[in-house]
Amino acid sequence: MRTTVVIGGNFAGITAALELKRKDPKNQRVILIDKSPLFLFIPSLIWVPFGRRDIKDISFRKDKILEKKGVEFVHAEAIKVLPEDNKVETTKGDFEYNDLVIATGPKVKYDVAKGVKDYAYYIGTPDGAMKTRKALNAFKENPGPVVIGATQNAGCMGAAYEFLFNIEKWLREQKIRKKVDLYWITPETYLGHFGIDGMPMGNTMLKTFMKMFNIHYRTEVGVEEVKSNGVLLSSGEFIESNFTMLMPPFIGVEFVVNSKGLQTNAAGYIPVNDTYQHVTHKNIWAAGIAVDVKLPFKPGKVPFSGPKTGYPSDETGKVVAENILRVQKGKKLKEKPWGKIPGLCIMDAGKKEVLIVSNHLFKPRTFAIMIPNVIYDFGKILFEKYFLWKTRNGLSYLP
């Protein structure tokens, strides 16, 4: 029996582990190592600050699900991998492997600019989302200007846009919208670039939204410094702010950076080919955010990155599981470049939504469309319920 160790257990990791065990249960020993026993539906964190969701609504224990499907779960933190020894060191001992899947997700680079960690809120973690909720409750008593956006080198633009439109709706619900000047700042070369070089009519649609909701915006700007009373932009402009939420860039986690024998890029991501096999270590694979994604476009005067969302993470987890088995059977590996994964995203816009669909995440595309739904955001809610149900039942093979 061959042993595959999977590091990380959210979208990409849990999918890879379940698929590998499902496809070859008799011959595969699969061990999933993660420092958290919970699966978290990260896209719904944008609703937590506004009380529309609690963390318990979008998370569940994954250990029992994995064990039921024959995957061994180890609640530990991975320290480093020793590629030449085919071994992973963790806080609960060492684990040897025939194949290793790195699906560790990101580390947030708060030091991208002075003051980001001290004075800006971040919604990408449960702790960050709950701190943001507390800050908004205090903000109601002393409303003033608000700055929402992304810093230079950031890639998760979609979540920041979602938070922007949700806070605009929340301000109206709290009956304080007229007291608030709302600003959007982004390193994107234009509204709706999203790190994928845009979608048809996307720029026009978002300009319309900004005008409709009276949101001031600045494109092609970075953050020089965040202060207690505002944000200094790379353009030299200072925007006063009583509340600031920013999406900083992501970098590789300590486990990857500490693994000196593992070749990575400067940001700590794993260089792979189109099969998600490491370019040097052929029994090491990467899936999800851990993958080094090459962008097919050049950012403007302020650098930014591409998105690494749940759908590509889920897809790459499936590809990795399939290819591990193909190697063992001597078959040709499946290729599915990141940029050719279909684009599928539902962007919440404050009980409104925009459905974004394309045949490829990156250009060239033969099909791409953005469809606004200004009545309600039932699409995102349905997707949340479906994905939680699918994962809670270990049905990794479903789309």
Spell out the domain ranges in the chain: 2-107+250-335, 109-249
Please tell me whether residue 220 adopts helix, strand or coil conformation. Answer: coil
Residue 257: closest CA among 108, 69, 45, 79: 79
Distance of alpha carbon 269 from alpha carbon 262, whole angstroms: 10
- Confidence band, pLDDT 50/70/90 cuts, at residue 169: very high
Please tell me whether residue 256 adopts helix, strand or coil conformation. Answer: helix
User: In sequence order, what are the residues at sequence separation of 6 or more whose Cβ sits closer than 8 angstroms to the Cβ of residue 266?
Assistant: none
List pLDDT tens digits, range 7-57.
999 999 999 999 999 999 999 999 999 999 999 999 999 999 999 999 999
- Confidence band, pLDDT 50/70/90 cuts, at residue 348: very high
Residue 224: closest CA among 119, 316, 308, 115: 115
Please tell me whether residue 349 adopts helix, strand or coil conformation. Answer: coil
pLDDT at 297: 85
What percent of the chain is modeled with pLDDT above 90? Answer: 94
Distance of alpha carbon 232 from alpha carbon 240, whole angstroms: 9
Distance of alpha carbon 348 from alpha carbon 310, whole angstroms: 15
Is residue 364 reached through a cis peptide bond, with omega within 30 degrees of 0 on the bond before it? yes
pLDDT at 161: 97
List pLDDT tens digits, range 284-317.
999 999 999 999 888 789 999 998 888 999 999 9
List pLDDT tens digits, range 178-215.
999 999 999 999 999 999 999 999 999 999 999 999 99
Rounded to the nearest 5°, which phi and psi values hold at 348?
A: -70, 140
Residue with tokens 């071994």: 87
Residue 152: closest CA among 184, 192, 186, 183: 186
Average pLDDT, the chain: 96
pLDDT at 309: 87
pLDDT at 168: 98
| The architecture CATH gives domain 109-249 | 3-Layer(bba) Sandwich (3.50)
Distance of alpha carbon 47 from alpha carbon 50, whole angstroms: 6
What percent of the chain is modeled with pLDDT above 70? Answer: 100
Distance of alpha carbon 15 from alpha carbon 105, whole angstroms: 13
Residue with tokens 């279909």: 342
pLDDT surpassing 90 at residue 374: no
Residue 238: closest CA among 227, 247, 248: 227
List pLDDT tens digits, range 102-119.
999 899 999 999 999 999
Residue with tokens 């608030």: 180
pLDDT at 99: 98
| The architecture CATH gives domain 2-107+250-335 | 3-Layer(bba) Sandwich (3.50)
List pLDDT tens digits, range 237-296.
999 999 999 999 999 999 999 999 999 999 999 999 999 999 999 999 999 999 999 998
In 3-state terms the chain splits into helix, strand, coil percentages (rounded to 5) of 35, 25, 40
